């Protein structure tokens, strides 16, 4: 086991711990508005893994915005990794899969994903 592997995993676990300790407050909205958003979230998937700091950033934003999006951990499930590779063309995470009537879009970059989610909520 290399030193970089150990450092990365210890740092990753620390980030996960502090994320848990300082969880962002969730936005509260009416039942109708939440139901509408829940419906929209059905067409979204987030590919990620637990100790990835960029994934933590997106997970925190999802929590803040109270978005119930299915998450697919590519380290726990190799099928999810293959799906991401086949669809998005690379295994970088986080990645947001957006399905619409125009087709499927694979959005990489945590900043872009968070911006997409914010604009969806504000639309």
Ligand X SMILES: N[C@@H](CCC(=O)N[C@@H](CS)C(=O)NCC(=O)O)C(=O)O
Q: What DSSP letter does each residue of 49-100 carry, written as one string?
A: -TT-HHHHHHHHHHHHHT---EEEETTT-HHHHHHHHHHHSS--S-EEEEEE
Shortest distance, CB of residue 24 to ligand X, whole angstroms? Answer: 18
Asked if residue 72 lies in contact with residue 80, where contact means CB atoms within 8 angstroms, the answer is yes
Q: Can you name the residues that pair with 97 across neighbouring β-strands?
A: 45, 106
Residue located via tokens 């700091």: 53
Asked if residue 74 lies in contact with residue 84, where contact means CB atoms within 8 angstroms, the answer is yes
Q: Out of 56, 93, 96, 117, name the contact with ligand X by CB under 6 A.
A: 93
Rule CB under 6 A: say whether 82 interacts with ligand X: no
Q: Kindly tell me which of 43 and 111 has the beta carbon lying closer to ligand X.
A: 111
Rule CB under 6 A: say whether 52 interacts with ligand X: yes
Rounded CA separation 122/16 (Å): 28
Q: Kindly tell me which of 36 and 90 has the beta carbon lying closer to ligand X.
A: 90
Rule CB under 6 A: say whether 54 interacts with ligand X: yes
Q: Out of 92, 98, 120, 121, name the contact with ligand X by CB under 6 A.
A: 92
Q: Kindly tell me which of 16 and 34 has the beta carbon lying closer to ligand X.
A: 16
Region binding ligand X by CB under 6 A among candidate stretches 28-36, 38-46, 61-69, 109-117: 109-117
State the residues that interact with ligand X by CB under 6 A.
52-54, 90-94, 109-111
């Amino acid at each position: 086991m290399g030193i970089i592997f150990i450092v990365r995993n210890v740092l990753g676990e620390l980030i996960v711990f502090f994320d848990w300790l300082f969880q962002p407050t969730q936005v509260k909205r009416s039942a109708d508005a939440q139901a509408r958003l829940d419906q929209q979230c059905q067409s979204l998937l987030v590919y990620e893994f637990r100790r990835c700091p960029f994934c933590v950033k997106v997970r925190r934003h999802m929590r803040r915005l109270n978005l119930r999006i299915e998450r697919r951990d590519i380290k726990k499930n190799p099928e999810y990794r293959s799906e991401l590779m086949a669809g998005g063309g690379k295994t970088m995470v986080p990645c947001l899969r957006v399905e619409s009537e125009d087709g499927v879009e694979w959005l990489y970059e945590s900043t872009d994903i968070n911006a997409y989610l914010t604009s969806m909520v504000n639309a």
